Amino acid sequence: MSQSDRLKDIPFSFFAALPREISRTIRRTPVNSKREQRHLALEVFKNWKTRLYDEFSPLPPDTSRILFQLLFPKEDTARKYQMQEPALSSELMKCFGINDSRLKDWSKEGHSGCLGEELRQVLSNASSDPDETSSLTLGDVDKLLGELALLSPWSNSSKIRQDLSRPRRSRQEIIKSLFRPLPPMDAAVMTQIILKDLDAFLYPLPTLSTTEALRCYNSLSVKKLTMEEAMRAWDPMTLMLRSFRLHNSLDEAALAFEHNVLATAPRIGIQVQMPKSEKGRSPLHALKLFRTPDLIWAETKYDGERAQIHIEIVEGEEPRLNILSKSKRNSTLDRRAVHPIIVQCLGLHSSRPKIKKNAILDAEMCAFIGDRIDAESWRIGGLVEATAAGIRAKQTGKRKRRHSSGQYSKPSETRHLGLVFFDVLLVDDKSLITAPYWERRNILEELIIPKPGLVLLSTRWPLTIDGQSEASELSQSYQDYFPDDCTVTALANIFAERTALCYEEGLVLKASRSTYNDFRAPWVKLKRDYIPGLGDSIDLILLGAVWDKERAAELAVPTSTYTTFYIGVWQNPDEIERDPSVLPNFHIYCTSSYGQSRADLETLNFLIKSKTPIAYTKNRMVKGLPYTYTIYEGLSDPAVLLAEPVVVEVLGDRFVKAESKEPYQPRHPRIAKWFRSFERSWSDTVPREELERIAIKALGVEENMLVQDEFDQWASGLGWTLSKPKAPALSAEKQAERKRKREKEVEKMLVVMSGLDKRKIKRVKLTRETWEGATLSDIPLVGPMERYDGLRDQASRPVSGSPAVPDSRSSNMASDSTRAPLRISTNIQHATREESPDVNAATKLPPTPDTGHRHPKKMGSRKASSPVRSLKPMSLDKHSSKTAAMDDYPLYEQNCAFFKNAVIWYSGGGNAPWKTVIRQSSTRVSAIEAVLSGCGWRCSQTQALNSNPQCDWSRGVLVFDLDNEYGQAQREHALSLIRARSRVPFSVRKPIWFFNSLPCSCCKNRPKDFDDDDDDGNYNPYPPGHPGNPIQPGSVGSFGQPGQTQHQPQQRDLMYNPQTGNHVNEHARQPSPTSNMAYPPMPQPTHYGPETGYGRSPPGHSGHGHAYGAGENSADIPMALKPGGN
């Protein structure tokens, strides 16, 4: 007999003895016992393993895989049987030729709630020897289960071993071959394996009394056997467990154990185990979950479907894509719509692709509306099904037949699928699993080419944890909220701003030095729903109830207990107002199983049963109720309907819809409180129309967008294709009112998180302009910085201009190190609404460097900034060559021409006219380093040699707000990068232009801090030469009321003179020791780049403006951008 044939030596009955013994041991545990010190289930497993080795050693091949797939059937993700209790009970009755009501009523009161146990009782009554041994072996069972799973389209056929010699059989034939040889106990185990719910048999109910189960039973008294514990007992060397943590596959884990080989790198097509996140109950609690001081990144949590993207590069063939879902299912065909997006953002079809071999990336597939992420995340399901080519596409036809009103979500010109990338696990067959997060992020930014509306990199903000509360100018102002920790304050402000103002789901905190799936530094999710007092709550109506097996298993309660409740909304308040005799009409559309304590759940069960609920009958209106109702077809049937509606307060995480015609419902609804009829009536609940308005406000969805959806659905139902009505623009007063409301919401959130009285605190407002559009690389840092160049050079080097500091893990930080207040920056902001360039033409986003030091460098104080002084108006000579050129070339068009084919960075959003000109004419990127990289300013010789020698951009443009300390720090850092990269050889560079833009006050409609006068002038938002500005193109800008003296800002913009090596001020034609200042409508420039060489700074100059790169003809620069001299 060969070794492979020896698998037949292990009978299935020997395996079935393991769950039978665990069940008998657990059944003897007292109901109200305290938590057991002994792990009874684990002890049984170890004893069973000893007997197995005694009788069948050496074990046949595949024994480990088959054993764990049978004992933990939920982890057998490749095999899907597509049968639950109703379908399987029907097949079993056909198989055994019986018609027993116990198999039909397995979940009703008085039954066990376990179909396998009911089948055992039925078969035991007809069996002469219940303890007989089955003739089936482990190998036979494995083949039969594989054959049964192949009938389901949800199974992964490539992972199932098939017997091609056997003809394809029907489900009933396979079930007969599987069950008829089994004794009653084995049949019960097999039933629960097919249902993927073996726990229901392993851990039977302790009592059949609802009150005793909820009031007396301690759910912690029974310790369940986990797969990790079983793996440790099966393999003391932990090869199996470590392999599973990497590959998340029982097949791979069993191979590692049996062959005594541990794989250390991910494999294409096999899912890398996704990290499990901890829940942060508050900003302070979230930060305490990190055990060691480190730099922490607060990353936006995106609401979509997880996608682990596997890319296999085969020479001479198209890239092979595999997209794995969070449930381990291969959803490549279902997510066909994002295939071209993946290929484009990685440049796989270009002559120089970013990936040479294989790669694995982590992303979130989101629903986009235009070039921004749709706040209504529920639409993603319809978009996937409408574009899928796999099993999810087949569901579309069923839904269309059931819902013929045209409400089904389809992709359109505005709504489509996109990807947000946040991690990389494998590049060119090099594993990054053990690489720190900051390094993986740097590599990811090198690989991905962002494209607005299709491809984004996750937005993030840096936080430091040093265990001390240091007083600084910035953190001191926050200490009214969190007096003991400015880090907590910064996190609370970020969280409040992003969720209340930007309507985002929450944040995910990641340690900078943590590896992927690092149990010592896990990812921490921070959501409003997790923080007491911040979740969305609403009063709805409880109308039905049922016993649910999954929730009942968690609570260990019998089938007589209602665990899941059906929630409805009041639909006809206007009709009742006109005619009080009309019965109220409720629409039942969601369920809730969580939120109550065991004692409250027992009381609610008593209340429902005392009111004599009426059994629900499908497809027939239940009579005798004091209300009428409708029920959403997507819900499972309730067991009973309440004779008297109960008002409940429902908590949730924002609002979603099951389908577009359904009302909004709280996401992950939980019943926080219920009321008796004398406490609150159903008429006190929120009607459907009011619910829609509340949800719209919570999601930040404009009402005209909902009107547009209804318009599209109505037109689609008629088969029409109509033009969309233009949404009315909001007035400035309406926008200001909405902003004030959102600011109050932020204030409320901070009060709740801090636990302080609102009257005792004062909020420090952080605007989007403060943090959007910058990266950590835009802020000067202290300490060594490791960079990843060309996926080969991993040498550690300090930041240019920053002193090197030893790694904090090996030595203490120097006592004189500069410590800074916490700042908020973003790696990449959400896409703008303007048309974006072709993804193939977009510049790559260079990596965001990380620092070995824990503290960012302190930024300059506001007091140190140079004051802005006003000057008398200065006009241009009518006969100058510059003015003559302007007459033939309108200034507005000339501005657009200057920015054409330029790559630009500026911080924040906003609709300033100069930003409009830039967005219409140039390509905006979200990092300063992206501008430098796109213009050929490489950070290393390796990059210079491996990059395209011909830069696609004509120039680079950087715009800083020098009235802001962040802008000052960003400009200083950009200058240090230019000085450092000028020394890199083999680099062809394009010029870089620096501009300064003073922000304009929306309240006074004038530039901030423009001069010391108190006059409130009229500021025209359009540049000279634009049809909206009466100022002629003869002057740079204007300020003041008609008839008053026109002010012009002092021009201090510097251009480098290659002959003298000095920076020339074009006003006075003499060396200028000052830095550039400017004034809207167009920012004023400093030009870096006439030649490759080190420029000499003039006396008193601070070192700004060293010019490197290719030359730029100043005659080509529009007048609004030039210093207006003689």
Instruction: Read off the pLDDT of residues 569-592 as tens digits, 9 standing for 90 and up.
Output: 999 999 999 999 999 999 999 999
Q: Which two tokens stand for residue 33?
A: 């016992």
Strands (E) in 1024-1072, as ranges, are 1048-1049, 1054-1056, 1063-1065, 1070-1071
Strand partners, 1007: 1000
Around Cβ 369, how many Cβ atoms within 10 Å?
17
Beta 1054-1056 vs 923-924: how paired, if at all?
A: unpaired
Residues in Cβ contact with 173 at an 8 Å cutoff, skipping those fewer than 6 apart: none
Find, among 104, 71, 93, the residue nearest to 189 by Cα. 71
Q: Which two tokens stand for residue 69?
A: 């797939």
Q: What is the pLDDT of residue 431?
A: 93
CATH architecture of the domain with range 536-652+654-688: Beta Barrel (2.40)
Show the low-confidence residues of the chain (pLDDT under 50). Answer: 1, 3, 6-7, 398, 400-408, 467-484, 703-704, 706-708, 710-711, 714-715, 718-727, 756-889, 949, 999-1126
Spell out the domain ranges in the chain.
4-218, 226-264, 304-457, 536-652+654-688
Q: Which amino acid appears at position 660 of this protein?
A: S
d(CA 855, CA 805): 11
Which DSSP helix (H) or strand (E) runs through 888?
helix 881-888
Rounded to a whole number, what is the distance in angstroms from the first to the last CA of the chain? 102
Between CA 383 and CA 390, with CA 389 as vertex, the angle to 5 degrees is 100
Q: Which two tokens stand for residue 1000?
A: 């304009």
d(CA 1034, CA 1120): 9
Q: What is the pLDDT of residue 434?
A: 92
Residues in Cβ contact with 1002 at an 8 Å cutoff, skipping those fewer than 6 apart: none
Preceding amide of 58 cis, omega within 30:
yes
d(CA 672, CA 632): 23
d(CA 1030, CA 1041): 13
Q: What CATH topology corresponds to 304-457? A: D-amino Acid Aminotransferase; Chain A, domain 1 (3.30.470)
pLDDT digits (tens, 9 = 90+) for 955-983: 888 888 776 666 777 788 788 888 877 77
**Contact status, residue 854 vs residue 466, Cβ threshold 8 Å:** yes
Find, among 1063, 1115, 1080, the residue nearest to 995 by Cα. 1080
Q: What is the DSSP string of 1091-1115?
A: SSSPPPPPTT--S-----SS---GG
Q: What is the DSSP letter of 956?
A: E
Q: What is the DSSP string of 821-841?
A: ------SSPPPPSSPPPPTTT
Which DSSP helix (H) or strand (E) runs through 440?
helix 437-447
Q: What CATH topology corresponds to 4-218? A: DNA ligase i, domain 1 (1.10.3260)
For the chain, the residue count is 1126
d(CA 481, CA 485): 9
Q: Which two tokens stand for residue 1122?
A: 């030039």
**Contact status, residue 669 vs residue 650, Cβ threshold 8 Å:** yes
